[in-house]
Amino acid sequence: MEANVSDDSDISDCQRDVIAFLAGAGLVGPQARAVRRIDTHGAHVFIGAHDVYKIKRAVRYPYMDFSSLAKRRAACAREVEINVPHAPAVYKGLVAITREADGRLVLNGAGEPVEWAVHMARFAEEDVLVNRVARTALTVDEAKALADAVVASHGAAQVVVEPPERATIAAIAHNVLAALPGLFGGDDGDVLELTSELSRRIAVLAPLFAERARAGCVRRCHGDLHLGNVVFIGGAPTLFDALEFDEALATVDILYDFAFLLMDLDHRGHRAAANAVFNRYIWRRQEHTDLEGLAALPVFMALRAAIRAMVGAQRAASTHEGLAESRAYLTRARSYLADERPLLVVTGGLSGSGKSTLAAALAPMLGRAPGALHVRSDLERKALFGAGELERLPETAYGADVTARVYARLLAKSEAALRVGHSVVADAVHAHPSERAEMAALAQRAGALFVAFWLDAPRDVLLQRVGARKKDASDATPQVVERQMSYDLGELEWTRLDASGTPEETRCTAMSYLHASMGPR
């Protein structure tokens, strides 16, 4: 739910009395602050000191119809039903606004219902994600928690093996692309180019969409997973305001559902957060279908941006606002469809050299949105044993046979992503020449650009860093570092970086080399 400035000029006549009633301070008691109203394209929301009431706007769009009281009641009831499981602290229930015999409007009175509302508990608006990221970037822990919330939502979502035809990506795109010329002009260059390229990509990906549906990737999802529909309550991200007005539009591929969140973060200048959320989601789910599905992610993100452009332009048409923001989304949609050769960047080095820190810093800056897939050996080892990120593994988990399996996972995941055009940052010690050679061979097989860094740092720096670690997936200890110092690394053909300084210094050095070595792309 994202706020727009209230504008009485586009209020339906049938709702004027109700809106005036809900805007009255008497709803929330004599001690309450004045009720504040915000409007979205589909709702009027009234925020009091402790309670929030939301009514559906009496509007009809091609994709959303709240034109009758019965339809608005059904939508309110469905909103409560689908959101309570994920946001029980937010949703209080469905209430009727009734007109009594004396003509007064009351909540849940004995008279005839003239409108229906969703009753919600008020939460701090600064904790809504769209407002939070306007002030500051998400922390790493917040990004992980956000991804975990989406993983939980998708894990609980009902699988729909045969989704309705109008819920397919092709049908959704057709409706959006058909609406854009009337909003931006039939000869608009951005619209024409987006329509051509998005339609072409969707046709090419049709077999993948069908296969993903058969594999259970199409589910009854949140459906409207942008930053305005996530709030941090008690420090934990809570998804709310799931799409309630059309079951078909919410019955979509889980990566398409996820793409809205990634696109919104990226569009608002938070590519690093989008990349962190993306990588956490992929790692937590441990599903090969997600890696194959990366072929469709540019289309999913472009379509989400195009929908934002459409909705914004429709809103602008009714409120006489400008089209600048909608135009920016249109441009963003086109950018997601730009062709780009994938890149495989590998970071190696002894424990404490900063290879994982560098990999995480580089990933958002490489490849197509939301940045490169970061495949980390420490995390793959934990996943191999079904362990949590911070759960310490026994010594037996670090034997040569297990390490070989970890590197095999690293290679397989990297190859799966590269094969569908998604860049990868692979992060592991890579102490043995054979491990380094396999990475170079992978890049050649996949047709990817290849850059490999070996991070060097003095023994005392390595020991200090490893000894100071907290809340990290690596199980390395100072004793492990001492053992690694005796490794025979063989001939090192990778680019060696002095990693004894700050992480930012190492990142800048690496980026300078990347820019110089890759040239124009």
DSSP for 242-280, written as a single string: ---S-HHHHEEEHHHHHHHHHHHHHHTT-HHHHHHHHHH
For β-strands 218-220 and 251-253, DSSP reports them as antiparallel
| pLDDT tens-place string over residues 335-384 | 999 998 999 999 999 999 999 999 999 999 999 999 999 999 999 999 99
Domains and CATH numbers, the chain: 8-122 (3.30.200), 129-335 (3.90.1200), 343-518 (3.40.50.300)
**pLDDT value, residue 31:** 38
Phi, psi of 326 (to 5 degrees): -65, -40
**pLDDT value, residue 27:** 52
**Ramachandran bin of 172, using left for φ above 0, alpha for ψ from -120 to 50, beta for the remaining angles:** alpha
For the record, the structure tokens of 202 come out as 């969707």
Closest to 273 in 3D by CA, of 209, 318, 317, 230: 230
Are the C-beta atoms of 163 and 218 separated by less than 8 Å?
yes
Buried/exposed 139-155: b ≥16 CB within 10 Å, e otherwise: eeebbbbbbbbbbebbe
**pLDDT value, residue 32:** 45
Q: What contacts 26, CB < 8 A, 6 or more positions away?
A: none
β partners of residue 348: 454
CA–CA separation, 108 vs 92, rounded Å? 14
Q: How many helices (H) and strands (E) does the chain have?
A: 19, 17
CA–CA separation, 360 vs 377, rounded Å? 13
Closest to 259 in 3D by CA, of 246, 273, 245, 278: 278
Are the C-beta atoms of 52 and 35 separated by less than 8 Å?
no
**Side-chain-side CA neighbours of residue 255 (13 Å):** 28
**Ramachandran bin of 431, using left for φ above 0, alpha for ψ from -120 to 50, beta for the remaining angles:** alpha
| pLDDT tens-place string over residues 452-497 | 999 999 999 999 999 999 999 999 999 999 999 999 999 999 999 9
For the record, the structure tokens of 390 come out as 């911070």
For the record, the structure tokens of 131 come out as 């407002």
pLDDT beneath 50: ranges in the chain: 3, 5, 25-26, 28, 30-32
Give the H or E element holding residue 170: helix 169-184
Would you call the peptide bond into 370 cis, given omega within 30 degrees of 0 as the criterion? yes
C-alpha distances in Å from residue 345, one per residue of 228, 352, 360, 366: 34, 19, 11, 9
Closest to 258 in 3D by CA, of 232, 292, 286, 219: 219
Q: How many CB atoms lie within 10 A of CB 495?
A: 15
Q: How many CB atoms lie within 10 A of CB 10?
A: 13
Closest to 191 in 3D by CA, of 204, 205, 201, 177: 177
Q: How many CB atoms lie within 10 A of CB 342?
A: 22
Eight-state DSSP code of residue 41: S
Phi, psi of 240 (to 5 degrees): -140, 175
Enter the pTM of the model.
0.91
